[in-house]
Amino acid sequence: MSSTIAKLLDMRGFSCPLPIARTAQAIRELSVGDLIEVHATDPGSVPDFDAWCTTTGHELVERTEADGVYRFVIRKAR
Amino acid sequence: MPARVVVLGGGVGGTLVANLLDKELGRDVHVTVVDPTGMHDYQPGYLYVALGQAKGHWLSREERSLLRPGVDLAIEEAIRIHPDAGSVQLARGSNLEWDYLVVATGARLVPDQIPGLVDGSFEFYSLAGAERLGQELRRIRGGRIKVGIAGIPYKCPPAPIEFTFMVDGYLREHDLRDRSEVELLSPLNRAFTIESASKLIQPIMERRGIGLTTFFNVESVDPSAHTVESLEGEKQEYDLLVLVPPHEGAEVVKASDLGDASGWLPTDRATLNVGGYDNVFALGDATDLPISKSGSTAHFEAPVIASRIASLVNGTAPKTNYGGRVMCFLETGDGRATSLRFDYEHPPIPPKPNRAWHVAKWLFNRLYWETVPQGRLPERAPFTTPKEVTS
């Protein structure tokens, strides 16, 4: 399993559902176990990524917030 | 010499900016609208065409008839913008020079981006598509009807939900509801992006027996197997599939290297200036702003651009900013509707669906031609102003 970020997605300034849709798109190109990091500013992205990971089975490895930017690290599970 | 303003695109936003500038500045300005078709389409009407409630020819008028006599119209295709040289190249070879440029080139549909979409699904985002969908609806005798979204961002975010409610009403009216399933495939974990609206909509969907699949971002359609697959890896069967096609910005924006990868223009959320140019503006669907792509957005942005250009022409500092105001109607079927009024700072508080908003939408659809393009619907009219909300 890799611990480096395979892909970084900057979704700052975009409101949902764009961050989710772009993450869903980007994660297809990765291999199982790869990490993707997403930056977003929409507060709605917090519950959205929680629910999206639960639904799709991908693992939400890390979630942090600094200066209004939410950072999500997700591991591709399948 | 009057200031030369070129407006690319004769839709809601372009037409209104042109008319407002001509009205405000008179002889101090010379406005030219460049539009490839010379026809002005009222796109919100397509939904009604699909349901057999409107005729296609009601929804299109000659752009010339909507412009003030002082505004020039060039029925030409713009192929390249040169912001540093202050000119735009037209397809027939001439070059149009400007002091101020307004890019109102809208969004275009790119259905080919989703494999199988063209052959396997219907849409109501073009007049031809809405007419074709209308014929199909009249033909079917029930079945599994799935409504989904094949690309984000897309125009008029409430439209797919309105369609599910209206198709539910149509099926009930024709005694076909018992033989049908209606389901919304939403890209999010709820029916609609805006949470307050979603809370209002989902119980109505439940009452009407409209299904909801969440986190379904369409990836491909298999027309022969009658299945649609999502980026999340889910597959659904259908008898009638209605998908919002993917959207992109105009070709001219891409050709001029002014937009992002999808052709949306990097636009300042307050001044509506493009890419750091003080004399280039964008509005409506053409921008990359994280707000609804809708006629109402363009309608509220147009006076801001007109005012800023007027100030620049008059040699004063522009003061008017866009606050992110949008106003949408949302039909919930059964002759009722609600409204979403919001801006950058205030999320909408939609009222309980009622008769009045349905009638208001109906009236607006009819009054559009005589009011909006001419700027006769005052920006501060109670009808268009969002309710003051405290967050």
Q: What is this model's ipTM? A: 0.71
B166 and B294 fall within a common domain: no
Q: Does B382 touch chain A (CB under 8 A)?
A: no
A34: Cβ contacts below 8 Å, ≥ 6 apart: A2, A6, A7, A75, A76
Q: pLDDT tens digits for A57-72?
A: 999 999 999 999 999 9
Note down the domain range covering B180: 109-247
Give me the phi and psi of B126, to 5 degrees please. Answer: -135, 160
Residue from B184, B215, B230 to probe the interface with A (highest A Cβ count within 10 Å): B215
B98 and B37 fall within a common domain: yes
Does some domain include residue B337? no
Question: B128, B16 in Cβ contact below 8 A?
Answer: no
In degrees, rounded to 5, the angle at the alpha carbon of residue B111 between the alpha carbons of residues B109 and B112 is 130
For residue B391, the model assigns a pLDDT of 29
Say whether pLDDT at A23 is over 60. yes
Residues β-bridged to residue B130: none
Say whether pLDDT at B390 is over 70. no
Tell if the CB–CB gap between B290 and A47 is shorter than 8 Å: no
- What is the pTM (predicted TM-score) of this model? 0.90
Does some domain include residue B164? yes
CB contacts of B262 in chain A (<8 Å) are: none
CB contacts of A55 in chain B (<8 Å) are: 189, 214-215, 232
Say whether pLDDT at B205 is over 90. yes
B163 and B211 fall within a common domain: yes
Shortest alpha-carbon distance between residue B343 and chain A (Å): 13
* CB burial readout B23-58, b (16+ within 10 A) else e: bbbeeebbbbbbbbeeebbbbbbbbbbbbeebeeee
B102 and B116 fall within a common domain: no
- Single out the residue in B183, B217, B247 at which a domain terminates: B247
First to last CA, chain B: 49
CB contacts of B233 in chain A (<8 Å) are: 56, 78
CB contacts of A13 in chain B (<8 Å) are: 290
Does some domain include residue B369? no
Tell if the CB–CB gap between B215 and A20 is shorter than 8 Å: yes
Find the closest chain A residue to B186 by CA distance. A17
B115 and B242 fall within a common domain: yes
B85 and B113 fall within a common domain: no
B119 and B228 fall within a common domain: yes
B88 and B170 fall within a common domain: no
Q: In angstroms, rounded to a whole number, what is the distance separating the alpha carbons of residues B77 and B317?
A: 33
B113 and B241 fall within a common domain: yes
- DSSP-derived 3-state class of residue B31: strand
- Name the domain count of chain B: 2
Does some domain include residue B354? no
Percentage of chain A exceeding pLDDT 90: 58
- DSSP-derived 3-state class of residue B87: strand
Does some domain include residue B83? yes
B142 and B224 fall within a common domain: yes
Q: Does A44 touch chain B (CB under 8 A)?
A: yes
Q: Does A49 touch chain B (CB under 8 A)?
A: no
In sequence order, what E strands does B204-359 have? 210-213, 218-222, 227-230, 235-237, 240-244, 247-249, 273-274, 277-282, 326-333, 336-342
- Single out the residue in B247, B275, B292 at which a domain terminates: B247
Question: B40, B15 in Cβ contact below 8 A?
Answer: yes
* Res. A1 pLDDT band, cuts 50 70 90: low
Per the annotation, the verdict on A16 as an active-site residue is yes
Q: In angstroms, rounded to a whole number, what is the distance separating the alpha carbons of residues B261 and B249?
A: 9
Q: pLDDT tens digits for B218-263?
A: 999 999 999 999 988 899 999 999 999 999 999 999 999 999 989 9
B122 and B195 fall within a common domain: yes
Q: Does B187 touch chain A (CB under 8 A)?
A: yes
For residue A2, the model assigns a pLDDT of 63
B12 and B33 fall within a common domain: yes
- Single out the residue in B307, B327, B347 at which a domain terminates: B327
Find the closest chain B residue to A49 by CA distance. B189
Does some domain include residue B261? yes
Q: Does A43 touch chain B (CB under 8 A)?
A: no
Residue B234 sits in a domain whose CATH number is 3.50.50.60
Does some domain include residue B157? yes
Does some domain include residue B360? no
Shortest alpha-carbon distance between residue B125 and chain A (Å): 20
